[in-house]
Structure 1
Amino acid sequence: MPKKQFEIEVKVLLGSKNAVDTCLAKLRKRDPHFLIHKRSSQLNHYFLSGNVEKLLTALSPFLKRNTKKELSEILKGVTNYSLRTRWEDGKTTLVAKASTHGKDSVHDLKRREFETILPLSIEELDKLLLSSGFSYQSKWSRVRNTYSYKDLTVCIDKNAGYGYLAEFEKVIYNEKDVEKAKKAILAELTDLDLEELPNDRLNRMFSYYNAHWQEYYQTEVTFIVE
């Protein structure tokens, strides 16, 4: 059985390309082993809740028993989960994220994560969800650069709608380490002269995009929500 893992993530709104360049220069200066290890283009399709049992049945031909059990635990064991499909450089992934204490599963500090690559196109996987009673919430597109920085993963995204956004992430395997991990990330942000994007503003941005995503998906158009 795979270990349960929890993603501790802090977001920073960079905005401009100049801010990205300044951030990267500081990261390189503070970590001699700083490096980029992945560049990717992504499509992410978010879904609203549907029939979990029907979805698990539809996915059964593509999932190993342990993988299906883990997905079932996430979708059935919490009241708040986020389900999405992702296309990234030719591979299609099903992603489920669940809040472990009943808060926002999309932007919550502490989330349980599930990901599995499936031998389907994103259109085929979307159809399985749609036929199981799930419906589109929104579609997102971005270019992502992923870096190793000290003991963190740093992702710098160029998002349709949002513009440039950085994510500082640490994965832990013990829930007791949540606050320690969050404090460590915030200390790094202070050292880099960066500020965490407040969750209430992030939620406003997310809500605005969800209501207008057709105007931004697969474009370079951005908006500002304070």
Structure 2
Amino acid sequence: MKEERQITSYFKGDVDFRLMNTSDYLKLWLKTGKIHDDAREEMSVIIDKKYEKDLLKMLDILGYEIEIKWYRKRLELTFKDFEVTIDYTVGYGYIVEFELMVEDDKKIEEAKNKLNEVFKEFNIADTPNAVFNKKIQDYKVNWHKYTKDVNDNEFLIEK
């Protein structure tokens, strides 16, 4: 099991483009589709912390504006074939995510079936996207208020 603190900045725009900052590394990534879709393509680059200042300056010069920030405490573990994350996000609450990565679009339905089997096994109800969408809209409007007492540097090193 891995534990990590993350600050993820979501940039304004038509695509899901993010920068995650941890105490050890940065991760720049892009996801296709819409947030909460069942399957999305993901591309990412891990960046050494020594490049943080230059990367942030480049993103700013290129016009990337932060839409929201997530201050997340994450536990990661593997269960069967799934990557499982248990997140607590300041001002948002808890989220549990089961993820099964597939390289071939033809295997998406098979992956969904495996996920449904695990949900049945543990009597877990899949949260409807409408619930997530309502919650994310609230967070987009209020994230500054919810996180006003959070300091980026302190959050990453806090235990």
Shared fold (TM-score greater than 0.5)?
yes
RMSD between aligned residues:
1.8
Amino acid in structure 1 at the alignment position of 2:17: L
How far does residue 201 in structure 1 lie from its aligned partner after superposition?
1.1
Instruction: Label 1:218 to 1:188 Cα distance change in 2 as closer, same or farther (>3 A).
Output: farther
Q: Percent identity?
A: 28
Count matched residues.
Answer: 148
- Alignment deviations for residues 178-209 of structure 1 (CA, whole Å, 9 cap, x no partner): 11111210220111111111111111111110
Q: Which residue of 2 aligns with 1:60?
A: none
SS of the residue corresponding to residue 70 of structure 2 reads strand
> With structure 2 as the length reference, what TM-score do the two structures score?
0.85
How far does residue 39 in structure 1 lie from its aligned partner after superposition?
0.7
Which of 40, 43, 47 is residue 111 of structure 1 equivalent to?
40
Q: Which residue of 2 aligns with 1:52?
A: none
Which of 68, 92, 112 is residue 26 of structure 2 equivalent to?
92
Q: Which residue of 2 aligns with 1:127?
A: 57
Alignment of 1:141-160 (within 5 A): 141-160=71-90
Q: Is the 8 A contact 1:44 1:141 kept in 2?
A: yes
Q: Which residue of 1 aligns with 2:12?
A: 48
Distance 1:107 1:45 in 2: 17
Say yes or no: does 1:212 pair with 2:120.
no
Amino acid in structure 1 at the alignment position of 2:31: K
Q: Which residue of 2 aligns with 1:185?
A: 115
Q: Is the 8 A contact 1:140 1:218 kept in 2?
A: no
SS of the residue corresponding to residue 89 of structure 1 reads coil
Distance 1:169 1:199 in 2: 16
How far does residue 91 in structure 1 lie from its aligned partner after superposition?
0.7
Instruction: Label 1:84 to 1:158 Cα distance change in 2 as closer, same or farther (>3 A).
Output: same
Runs of 4+ in structure 1 displaced over 6 angstroms?
none
Q: Is the 8 A contact 1:86 1:94 kept in 2?
A: yes
Q: Which residue of 1 aligns with 2:157?
A: none
Amino acid in structure 2 at the alignment position of 1:94: L
Amino acid in structure 2 at the alignment position of 1:130: D
How far does residue 218 in structure 1 lie from its aligned partner after superposition?
7.4
Distance 2:20 2:55 in 1: 9
Q: Which residue of 1 aligns with 2:16?
A: 82
How far does residue 124 in structure 1 lie from its aligned partner after superposition?
4.2
Distance 1:197 1:126 in 2: 35
How far does residue 160 in structure 1 lie from its aligned partner after superposition?
1.1
Amino acid in structure 1 at the alignment position of 2:7: L
> With structure 1 as the length reference, what TM-score do the two structures score?
0.61
Say yes or no: does 1:170 pair with 2:100.
yes
How far does residue 219 in structure 1 lie from its aligned partner after superposition?
5.9
